[in-house]
Amino acid sequence: MAETPNNSENMSRRKFLRNSGYVAGGLIGGGIIGGLLGANLNDDDNDKTAKTDTNAAHSSNQAPIYFTNPEQFAVLKAAVERIYPKDDNGPGAVDLGVPFFIDHQLAGSYGNNTREYMQGPFFPGSDFQGYQTPLLRHEAFDVGLAGLQSYSQQKYKKNFAELEGEQQDEVLKAFEEKKVKLKAVTSSTFFNLLRAATLEGVYADPVYAGNTNMDGWKMKGFPGHQMSYLDKIDSKEFQKIKPNSLHA
């Protein structure tokens, strides 16, 4: 991550407001002032340090805080890489930090369904009634990853991570198509969770430990967090803009 801060593109909110003449020229909503006062989160003077700290932070967050078992983590790594593989366009899920993204998510609110209705009684439900498993997401991942391993053992007498890519795809496809029996969750529900979490890890702000170097965004031509497109919104040319993350 050797990007040098570029003033026009890595603008802090404070600079943006100052440079754009936005404060001087127009009406100011209450929040603009609030934003300025609250700007010590990302003060001008701290920009450079924030930038360097960020790099350090990113590497230090590449360690598990949910998973405790390397074999289980290896299954996750192999699976996400098949869902979003490395290719000529750029890195795959593993190089993007996705396994750590998922790990961190499982340790928190997402993994524990803290803002979701988890009271019983539980019934399987129709295809139109949504998530109905009694498992919390982190438990669904535990069950699902163990399932990938045992299914691989059963079918190929090998661990999932040691299979050929095409074989791994076969295993994942069986899960996707609800063909594998798991405890308390359907294999397709698990697969859909895994697929969605992988894409989230590829494209979420790097603050969450995935999308390393904003490479996920770069592959899509997505500039991440920008203050304003007011002066570009009617431009006829496609705008290649260097991406910004929230902590840039």
Residues 16-75 contacting other proteins, CB under 8 A: 22, 26-32, 34-35, 37-39, 41-42
Quote the least distance from Cβ 67 to other proteins, whole Å: 20
* Cα distances (angstroms) measured from residue 209 to each of 46, 115, 130, 164, 240: 22, 22, 28, 27, 25
The reply on whether position 181 binds other proteins by CB under 8 A is no
Q: How many helices (H) and strands (E) in the chain?
A: 10, 0
* Residue 221 binds other proteins (CB under 8 A): yes
Binding of other proteins at residue 227 (CB under 8 A)? yes
Task: Rank residues 115 and 157 by Cβ distance to other proteins and give the closer one.
Answer: 115
109 is a site residue for other proteins (CB under 8 A): yes
Closest separation in Å from C-beta 182 to other proteins: 18
Do residues 201 and 115 make contact, with C-beta atoms less than 8 angstroms apart?
no
Among 96, 140, 172, 193, the residue binding other proteins under the rule CB under 8 A is 172
Among 10, 14, 219, 242, binds other proteins (CB under 8 A): 219
Give every CB contact of residue 202 below 8 A, 6+ residues apart in sequence. 84, 93, 96, 98, 210, 211, 216
Residue with tokens 């593109």: 9
